[in-house]
């Protein structure tokens, strides 16, 4: 299915315009965050958030607001400007200190701006990384939420037709009435490169907001993450051909065996052998 393409002259700005309903523009807010490079650990634009920005850029007649809630320092500035380098003259920074609960501040800002569509990454690369922020935000605003978005097919008469990514490369078409929140992951189109010049020229418009402290984190025990075991054969299909092959593939258990009347030791030995063959254990 062909995704919508951006038409020449579509306006993209970091601030909300007031005449959106009159001129027929689609008001879109994209929530962006400071990411973390998986190898070096340096700050960068978050991959899923950048894919969300790319999705917004593909929408027809979209007026886009980039919205970041958090602190602002030298390290985070370079990461945030990576989004501006995708073709935006400005973005909005909702100032929140470290340790604050950003949900109330984001909800107040969205209530004030009243976008028709809010796009966010599935999960943050820093901080808690629980993936709950879009759900808590949708609950607070009373808006519907669609996760795992692959594409927006069309938006007509206040209803968005969406393609949701499913396991094994499959897709499901959904319709949701706006305003709504959608989240994207690796199934969405990869983000374009960030241009250095526009990134440095773009303006970051800071707006103060009320601060509500998150009371839960101080009670947690935080430790460095350990490498997790390898998951069994997760299909990540990017092209239509790969998605068809994955969807038409036989079930994973088709080549296995059924063990009956075996001792616990024999069963454990077979499970151990399977895990070693799959690379889960070394």
| 232 belongs to a structural domain | no
Q: Is residue 65 assigned to a domain?
A: yes
Range of the domain at 159: 3-218
Say how far residue 30 (Cα) sits from the centre of its chain. 9
Burial of 106 (0-12, 13-18, 19+ CB in 10 A): buried
Quick check: is 257 in a domain? no
Residue 6: pLDDT over 50: no
User: pLDDT at position 230, please?
Assistant: 62
Determine the Cα–Cα distance for residues 167 and 84; give it in Å rounded to an integer. 32
Is 161:1 a contact under the CB 8 Å cutoff? no
pLDDT at 39: 87
Average pLDDT over residues 155-173: 89
> 238 in a domain, yes or no?
no
Q: Is residue 277 domain-resident?
A: no
pLDDT at res. 238: 61
Report yes or no on 237 lying in a domain.
no
| Number of structural domains the chain divides into | 1
Q: How confident is the model at residue 1 (pLDDT cuts 50, 70, 90)?
A: very low
Q: What DSSP string runs through 53-95?
A: HHHHHTSTTEEEEEEEEE---HHHHHHHHHHHTTT-SEEEEEE
CA angle 124, 128, 132 (to 5 degrees): 70
CA separation, residue 40 to residues 37, 44, 78, 239 (Å): 6, 10, 15, 29
- 101 pLDDT above the threshold of 80: yes
Tell me the per-residue pLDDT of 215-243, one tens digit each, with 9 for 90 and over: 777 777 777 767 776 665 555 556 667 76
127-138 confidence digits (pLDDT tens): 777 889 999 999
| Residue 143 forms part of a structural domain | yes
- Residue 203 sits in a domain of what CATH number? 3.40.50.620
Q: Which of 30-39, 50-59, 138-147, 166-175 has the lowest mean pLDDT?
A: 166-175
Give one word for 87, left, alpha or beta, with left for phi > 0 and alpha for psi -120 to 50. left
In a domain, 55, yes or no: yes
């Amino acid at each position: 299915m062909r995704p919508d393409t951006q038409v020449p002259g579509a306006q993209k700005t970091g601030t909300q315009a007031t005449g959106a309903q009159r001129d027929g523009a689609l008001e879109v807010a994209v929530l962006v965050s400071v990411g973390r490079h998986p190898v070096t650990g340096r700050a960068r634009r978050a991959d899923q958030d950048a894919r969300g920005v790319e999705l917004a850029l593909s929408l027809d007649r979209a007026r886009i607001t980039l919205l970041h809630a958090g602190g602002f320092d030298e390290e985070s500035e370079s990461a945030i400007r990576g989004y501006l380098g995708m073709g935006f003259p400005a973005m909005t920074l909702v100032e929140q200190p470290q340790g604050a609960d950003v949900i109330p501040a984001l909800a107040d800002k969205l209530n004030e701006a009243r976008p028709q569509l809010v796009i966010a990454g599935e999960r943050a690369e820093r901080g808690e990384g629980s993936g709950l922020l879009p759900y808590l935000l949708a609950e607070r605003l009373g808006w519907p939420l669609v996760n795992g978005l692959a594409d927006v097919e069309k938006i007509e008469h206040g209803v968005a037709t969406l393609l949701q990514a499913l396991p094994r490369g499959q897709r499901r078409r959904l319709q949701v009435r706006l305003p709504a929140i959608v989240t994207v992951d690796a199934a969405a189109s990869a983000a374009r490169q960030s241009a250095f010049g526009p990134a440095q020229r773009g303006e970051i418009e800071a707006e103060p907001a009320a601060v509500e402290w998150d009371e839960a984190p101080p009670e947690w025990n935080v430790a460095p993450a350990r490498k997790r075991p390898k998951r069994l054969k997760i299909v990540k299909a990017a092209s239509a051909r790969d998605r068809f092959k994955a969807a038409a593939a036989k079930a994973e258990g088709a080549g296995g065996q059924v063990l009956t009347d075996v001792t616990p030791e024999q069963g454990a030995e077979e499970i151990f052998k399977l895990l070693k063959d799959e690379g889960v254990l070394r």
